[in-house]
Amino acid sequence: MENDLNVVGQRLPMHDAAAKANGTAVFTDDLVFPGMLHGKILRSPYAHAKILNIDTSKALKLPGVKGVVTGRDIPDRLYGIVPKARDEYALAKGKVRYIGDEVAAVCATNLETAEEAIELIEVTYEELPAVFDPLDAIKEGAPLVHDDTPNNISLSINKQFGNVEKAFAESDFVFEDSFYSQPVNHAPMEPHAAVAQYDSQRGEVTLWSSTQIPFFLRRNLSNTLQIPESKVRVIKPKVGGGFGQKIDMFAKDFCAAWFAMKLLKPVKFVYEREELFIATRQRHPMHLTVKTGVKKDGTILAQKFKAYADGGAYNSTAPTMIALSCYFLMIPYHVPNLVYEGHHVYTNKPVGGAMRGHGIPQARFAVERQLDLICERINLDPAEIRMKNSIHAGESHPAKFIINSCGFYDSVKMAADAIGWKEKRGKLPFGRGVGLAGASFPSGVSNMSHISSGSVVQLGRDGAVNVLSGAADIGQGAETVISQIVAEVLGVPMEDIRITAADTGVTPLDSGTFGSGVTVRAGNAARVAAIAARDKLFDFVAKELEANPEDLMARNREIFVKGSPARKMSMKDAIKGYQYADLPMPIVGRASWFPPATEPTTLFKEDGNFAPSYSFMTQSAEVEVDPHTGKVKLLKMATAHDCGKPINPMLVEGQLEGSVVGGMGQALYEDVIVEKGQVMNASLLEYGFPTFMEMPEIEALEVITDDPIGPFGAKEAGEGTQLSPAPAIVNAIYDAIGVDFMELPITPEKILKALEKKA
Amino acid sequence: MENDLNVVGQRLPMHDAAAKANGTAVFTDDLVFPGMLHGKILRSPYAHAKILNIDTSKALKLPGVKGVVTGRDIPDRLYGIVPKARDEYALAKGKVRYIGDEVAAVCATNLETAEEAIELIEVTYEELPAVFDPLDAIKEGAPLVHDDTPNNISLSINKQFGNVEKAFAESDFVFEDSFYSQPVNHAPMEPHAAVAQYDSQRGEVTLWSSTQIPFFLRRNLSNTLQIPESKVRVIKPKVGGGFGQKIDMFAKDFCAAWFAMKLLKPVKFVYEREELFIATRQRHPMHLTVKTGVKKDGTILAQKFKAYADGGAYNSTAPTMIALSCYFLMIPYHVPNLVYEGHHVYTNKPVGGAMRGHGIPQARFAVERQLDLICERINLDPAEIRMKNSIHAGESHPAKFIINSCGFYDSVKMAADAIGWKEKRGKLPFGRGVGLAGASFPSGVSNMSHISSGSVVQLGRDGAVNVLSGAADIGQGAETVISQIVAEVLGVPMEDIRITAADTGVTPLDSGTFGSGVTVRAGNAARVAAIAARDKLFDFVAKELEANPEDLMARNREIFVKGSPARKMSMKDAIKGYQYADLPMPIVGRASWFPPATEPTTLFKEDGNFAPSYSFMTQSAEVEVDPHTGKVKLLKMATAHDCGKPINPMLVEGQLEGSVVGGMGQALYEDVIVEKGQVMNASLLEYGFPTFMEMPEIEALEVITDDPIGPFGAKEAGEGTQLSPAPAIVNAIYDAIGVDFMELPITPEKILKALEKKA
């Protein structure tokens, strides 16, 4: 009994599920302050143009308009997540680089007036030649998106492990194939929003924002507004999804703060859905060529990659994206020799940014598709080749990754079994098929700023446990998982935990929600802080019970002596007793946690252990292709995910199911269609996400490993599963109709054309 | 230089002054939540009646009405600040006891509908005989306000020190006089308000309330709603004044929470000004008889008191009020023999409660008036008699008070000098006069619940200092003073401090704003917590500078070695260094502070040190009486206040000035006029506070002492000065026109009548 877990490992609903369902949860747009003003952003109608003049006089004269700001007015400070790759102004200075680029902003007493006013701003542009294709953009003489970036290549990575040419020479077969992965939009349910309030006396701006990383936003606001970081407070209300799109600072954040400071009134900016499509972030479209050398038995000897990522007009998280795209080619398979040449290319299009998987799904699509192509060419079984090349825990790794736990081999087996691989693969009637694909993801990447995740746990005399965490729950359930961890440590039920998360004015430093690290980083911080608070109580209780503190444990709101549970004291009595002692003290535990990992992300130079742990997963799909309509129906997807020991299996399943839907959209439906820089389908209706009508049967399989670093053995579950549903589906389409698709998405048109061609 | 103070002792504006001035400060009524409902309370039109039936059907049928609650529906739980004196239901059960008593509440989609709906509630009453005068109420056969309270005496106190009868026998003179002090209303600028939100999943109700004691409100809500304390979170937004009126829980708090829980929507209740007058709290009217024995030279040998406080329909803070009224008769003068018999009497009238000074001003009026009467009768100087009888620091005390510091003697001298006592007393032409009066007040009383004041101080890498305090700033500047204390300890400017105060879900336990203890309790807690945080840094910096931690000090955002200030490290570098060390930890200091005092308040039985320290003060007044109109013009009031070493002299002056205005209102203008239980002047216009037109010249004099217990030597400044302006003014009126007034207020009618009689 003493080693059982009571709260961790339980299928508990998210702690704010009811509030979100009944509408009482407060999102940024729900905030209302006295005298609040409303803002609206004027965006560029040109893909590439010089701004010759901006005349704001008519807008300023409109009754109700309180202010207008343009790029001229703001400090000369670039922003961006990665300091070395900053290339963006909150409002364009001098020129615009894509349709949607921010030109000016208006603040007015109501939204209607603000909307009317932006139409009254007269901007004189000089249109410039634009470039829309990354392969065109790198050509000599192409228009330069940023004048200081020749060939429009903003970032390149060239990594070499082992000796690829030698290994190719030793291979039985060498294959080269090219692939393309399209741009897709995150489309969080909640549009981006910001509300700012300024305290003119302390010189402090408070920003409520739908952000994934409050502390990064604080830094970027501090830099762009040119006020000290200590004078910026960022509060994250409920956030309705992010998927990476809410990692960056946006013009709405800057402009809300700017106007609040200038006008001494609260200011709200909320983006419309169209703005989310054209002017936030999207998954990078990527052109990838893969050359792979294998032995006859399928053993991979070497791989060589060339990748061009279409970044659109700005860098955003490009350095991280390109690094992840590269490094995660060496996992989950043994690839002893590898070359990766990757380029991030500017075009006059919407900006690429972090998105669930972040650079890896594109590369994974190429690798996992090519593995199936290879199997077809040399007559191997796609499941077998994956198991054969699987890496295992404890093995040494060419890029110096440290694999503490690894369930990949098992995940292939489980996913294959779940889809009926042996009975079905190659044996189903025309139009039906199965496929699978594998992947691995970092469980909490290291990061760029030595930012640890901190936690403060306070025990109150009322019996409530107040947890302060900087972790940013954006809907994934981080607060629930952290609460479970603290409840487990303190031996109290989940309902006793009250968590305050992500207010930089109250909660300790945290690195935010990215890289699937919240459970690992903030979870570990909360775990250690809870232990610190518990230890204070244990010291007190040990004296009272005449026991050693080490012999105590907490369970069911009681603290008792291990092995003699009759010697006990209730948690409440312990807290009271502690506080009635000589000097009644708040019982506060504090901790911080920093991933034991190095930082190849920023440097690209030295290799090292990218993440404290790695998750592993395999997806298997069964599809039905209608040869008459070209429509693909995903019948079932099984996802076998090694996320260590899950803290909350229900939330893990939610993550896996969400990832399946995301991957399915990427494979079959989604594509941000851009013509001459103009997004042609910038609405939920036109963009065409999969809906409940398209849902497959989803079987979520847990591959349980016990990770030594994650809290209670847990690893990431938020992103990894998004990496391989698309290739699994495309591989299944091959099994169904015998067509090899190399570009995403596989639309009915493409199916029909391919079938026609085949016939 | 090393012992100089940089922030403490400075005249700094309140940290939220600008926000309050420009309207961005958020008070409870400013809160808006999605789907918020609005509530309204139905009040009794009868002073005393049985509730025979309540028919809510018509109200419930009104479109927009979401719910109605009556006393039948709520748990059978009484509430009140002092557990043993609880006698009030959130909504009346069975009978109503005053005009304004809460009968039912309605919740609707908007306020207008709620107002309409309460008119549709049909209540059948059976009117009962009522009693309106406490001296009638104690008579045999009087109607009983509470059936279980014979003679309507809810509480009595009988204290005896020394041997009064023996001392009277030894006195040269014994005088007996009777006095009456009227009911006055606090009239905070901000009406009482509450907003509640319910988290049905965690079973937790959050209440934003204009409260002085969030943690007491939490307890009373927990008890009356019958949910655990850990499921109640109370958040105090900005509060626009309290003066004691916002200490209690009110029906609006309970009803907001109740409806939020039942309807799963946020709910707001805001009282109208009329409700503040009739149905919150007021200063207890009190009848007092004082018998004093003195020697020829004015030495006081004994005093005997009999007091009847008119409590109205409920107890509220009666036990504390009656105890303060009694104990503070033994200070600031030596009274070696004393008897006090005090009674708190129920009547069918508005409820008495805590108000600035809380029971003492009434008694002080009697004592300070009688001292002047005695001086007149035996030809002594009123200033001399006060100095002669003054107690002094370090002297033993009949009630076992410990007087650590005492500036009373000096305060009499300074106040007398400031008003030109020697030149003016008895020497001004008819119609002008000067008077003075003294007092003493507890600097942070002990309290009923072993509730300490806690503080948590976090140092962030951004350079901001985040202070979590449970202290409730209700406009007096508590957050500013706490910030100054923390800034001083950490050696940073005030602007680096960001304080989060009074959210029971985030901030540590605090006993709230009452008894003039916030600076002492919460200030000391913050001071000790800041030292704890600083010590962590000092340990780190000491290693870096190769010094002893004890030799370090912090000043101007730097930490340096005392005596060799060149050996130093910036605060920012120290924090960064600490956090980059092995395990980067949030730097958190925590502390709690509990007054070193005993608790005569609840027990009335054992004597003891009532408060950690005591403040002392004398007010002197010069008045001009117009014999034709009867109007009294207060020309000047000097207030000499021993508040130790003030943390912020400007805020102290604000308190002193506010108290002068309060005392002036009590002396000359204010009176809650009640006829047969009905308040006749329940509006700001009719009630007639002094306005800026009536303001005298106010000279605030600091009597500096260095208190060993208060933070940085500070003592209370919030209430003491309110104790004696009224008798000072009345004493000055005697000097001006030779009339002895024994009842407050001294209206023009009373002046004219007295002058007529005299003539």
A174-207: per-residue pLDDT in tens? 999 999 999 999 999 999 999 999 999 999 999 9
CB of B94 less than 8 A from some CB of A: no
- Pick the residue of A585, A593, A594 with the most B CBs within 10 A to test the interface with B by mutation: A585
- Cα–Cα dist B327/B1, whole Å: 42
The segments of chain B whose pLDDT lies below 70 read 1-3, 446-451, 581-584, 598-606
The CATH code of the domain at A286-446+599-758 is 3.30.365.10
- Pick the residue of A201, A216, A479, A497 with the most B CBs within 10 A to test the interface with B by mutation: A201
- Cα–Cα dist B210/B208, whole Å: 7
Closest residue on chain A to B16 (Cα) = A201
Domain boundaries B17-24+451-593, CATH class: alpha beta
| Residue A566: per-residue pLDDT | 93
**B229 Cα to chain A: minimum distance (Å):** 5
Contacts of A34 in chain B (CB under 8 A): 23-24, 26, 30
| Residue B460: per-residue pLDDT | 85
Torsion angle of alpha carbons A135, A139, A143, A148, nearest 10°? 100
Cβ contact B24–A228 (<8 Å): no
Residues 572-591, chain A, touching B (beta carbon < 8 A): 579-580, 583-586, 588, 590-591
Residues of chain B with CATH 3.90.1170.50: 31-128+189-241+246-279
CB of B314 less than 8 A from some CB of A: no
Residues of chain B with CATH 3.30.365.10: 17-24+451-593, 286-446+599-758
Listed range (A48-57, A142-151, B515-524) with the worst mean pLDDT = B515-524
**A116 Cα to chain B: minimum distance (Å):** 26
Closest residue on chain B to A592 (Cα) = B585
- Pick the residue of B590, B593, B594 with the most A CBs within 10 A to test the interface with A by mutation: B590
- Pick the residue of B15, B265, B466 with the most A CBs within 10 A to test the interface with A by mutation: B466
Residues 196-215, chain B, touching A (beta carbon < 8 A): 197-204
Of the candidates B18, B24, B585, which has its C-beta nearest A590's C-beta?
B585
Structure tokens at B659: 């108290």
Closest residue on chain A to B494 (Cα) = A202
Q: Of residues A125 and B502, which shows the higher confidence score?
A: A125
Closest residue on chain A to B261 (Cα) = A24
pLDDT higher than 60, residue A284: yes
pLDDT higher than 70, residue A606: no
Query: Going by DSSP bridges, is the β-strand pair B193-199/B173-181 parallel, antiparallel, or unpaired?
Result: unpaired
Contacts of B449 in chain A (CB under 8 A): none
| Residue B583: per-residue pLDDT | 55
Taking only the tens place, the pLDDT of each residue in B732-754 is 999 999 999 999 999 999 999 99
Taking only the tens place, the pLDDT of each residue in A312-331 is 999 999 988 998 999 999 99
Of the candidates A18, A458, A580, which has its C-beta nearest B508's C-beta?
A458
- Cα–Cα dist B571/B646, whole Å: 27
Of the candidates A203, A506, A586, which has its C-beta nearest B495's C-beta?
A203
Angle at B574 between CA B572 and CA B579, to 5 degrees: 95
| Residue B446: per-residue pLDDT | 65
Taking only the tens place, the pLDDT of each residue in B452-471 is 899 999 998 888 999 999 99
**A305 Cα to chain B: minimum distance (Å):** 37
Mean pLDDT of A346-359: 96
- Burial (CB count <10 Å: 0-12, 13-18, 19+), residue A401: buried
Instruction: Tell me which fold the domain A451-593 belongs to.
Output: Aldehyde Oxidoreductase; domain 4 (3.30.365)
Which option is the CATH number for B31-128+189-241+246-279: 3.30.1490.100, 2.30.30.90, 3.90.1170.50, 3.40.50.20?
A: 3.90.1170.50
Of the candidates A13, A498, A505, which has its C-beta nearest B466's C-beta?
A505
Listed range (A123-127, A585-589, B316-320, B350-354) with the worst mean pLDDT = A585-589
**B155 Cα to chain A: minimum distance (Å):** 29
Angle at A553 between CA A549 and CA A554, to 5 degrees: 125
Query: How many A/B residue pairs have CB atoms within 8 Å?
Result: 181
Residues 30-89, chain B, touching A (beta carbon < 8 A): 30, 32-35
**B266 Cα to chain A: minimum distance (Å):** 7
Mean pLDDT of A526-545: 95
Closest residue on chain B to A27 (Cα) = B34
Cβ contact B19–A464 (<8 Å): no
CB of B435 less than 8 A from some CB of A: no
pLDDT higher than 60, residue A449: no
- Alpha-carbon distances of B586 from A466, B228, B677, rounded to whole Å: 16, 31, 58
CB of B233 less than 8 A from some CB of A: yes
Please state the three-class secondary structure of A610-653 as a single string: CCCEEEEEEEEEEEEECCCCCCEEEEEEEEEEECECCCCHHHHH
- Cα–Cα dist B526/B8, whole Å: 13
- Of A198, A227, A225, A201, give the one whose Cα is nearest residue B494: A201
Cβ contact A16–B199 (<8 Å): yes
| Residue A584: per-residue pLDDT | 64
- Pick the residue of A223, A588, A592, A594 with the most B CBs within 10 A to test the interface with B by mutation: A588
Angle at B114 between CA B109 and CA B115, to 5 degrees: 145
CB of B109 less than 8 A from some CB of A: no
Cβ contact A508–B583 (<8 Å): no
| DSSP-assigned letters across all residues of B637-664 | EEEEEE-BS-S-HHHHHHHHHHHHHHHH
A462-493 per-residue burial string, b: 16 or more CB within 10 A, e: under 16: bbbbbbbbbbbbbbbbbbbbbbbbbbbbbbbe
- Cβ atoms of B574 and B540 within 8 Å: the answer is yes
In sequence order, which residues have a C-beta less than 8 Å from that of residue B457 and are 6 or more positions away? B465, B466, B467, B468, B486, B490, B526, B529, B530, B532, B533, B588, B589, B590
- Burial (CB count <10 Å: 0-12, 13-18, 19+), residue A542: middle
Cβ contact A24–B199 (<8 Å): yes
Cβ contact A456–B461 (<8 Å): no
- Pick the residue of A24, A229, A494 with the most B CBs within 10 A to test the interface with B by mutation: A24
**A494 Cα to chain B: minimum distance (Å):** 9
CB of A557 less than 8 A from some CB of B: no
**A674 Cα to chain B: minimum distance (Å):** 37
Of the candidates A202, A466, A495, which has its C-beta nearest B15's C-beta?
A202
**B586 Cα to chain A: minimum distance (Å):** 6
- Cβ atoms of A612 and A668 within 8 Å: the answer is no
- Alpha-carbon distances of A664 from A265, A670, A682, A724, B290, rounded to whole Å: 45, 9, 20, 10, 89
Supply the DSSP symbol for A142.
Answer: P
Residues of chain A with CATH 3.90.1170.50: 36-128+192-270
Residues of chain A with CATH 3.30.365.10: 286-446+599-758, 451-593
| Residue B4: per-residue pLDDT | 85
Instruction: Tell me which fold the domain A36-128+192-270 belongs to.
Output: Aldehyde Oxidoreductase; domain 3 (3.90.1170)
Q: How much is the mean pLDDT over chain A?
A: 94
Contacts of B264 in chain A (CB under 8 A): 22, 24
- Cα–Cα dist B547/B539, whole Å: 9
Q: Residue A563's CB: how many other CB atoms inside 10 A?
A: 9
Of the candidates B23, B264, B500, which has its C-beta nearest A35's C-beta?
B23
Residues 5-24, chain B, touching A (beta carbon < 8 A): 13, 15-19, 22-24
Contacts of A580 in chain B (CB under 8 A): 450
Structure ipTM: 0.92
- With tokens 């001292």, the residue in question is B371
Contacts of A22 in chain B (CB under 8 A): 200, 264
**B367 Cα to chain A: minimum distance (Å):** 39
- Cβ atoms of A353 and A85 within 8 Å: the answer is no
Of the candidates A200, A452, A508, which has its C-beta nearest B22's C-beta?
A200
Contacts of A498 in chain B (CB under 8 A): 202, 204, 230, 233, 505
Cβ contact A201–B266 (<8 Å): no
In sequence order, which residues have a C-beta less than 8 Å from that of residue B9 and are 6 or more positions away? B645, B646, B647, B648, B649, B712
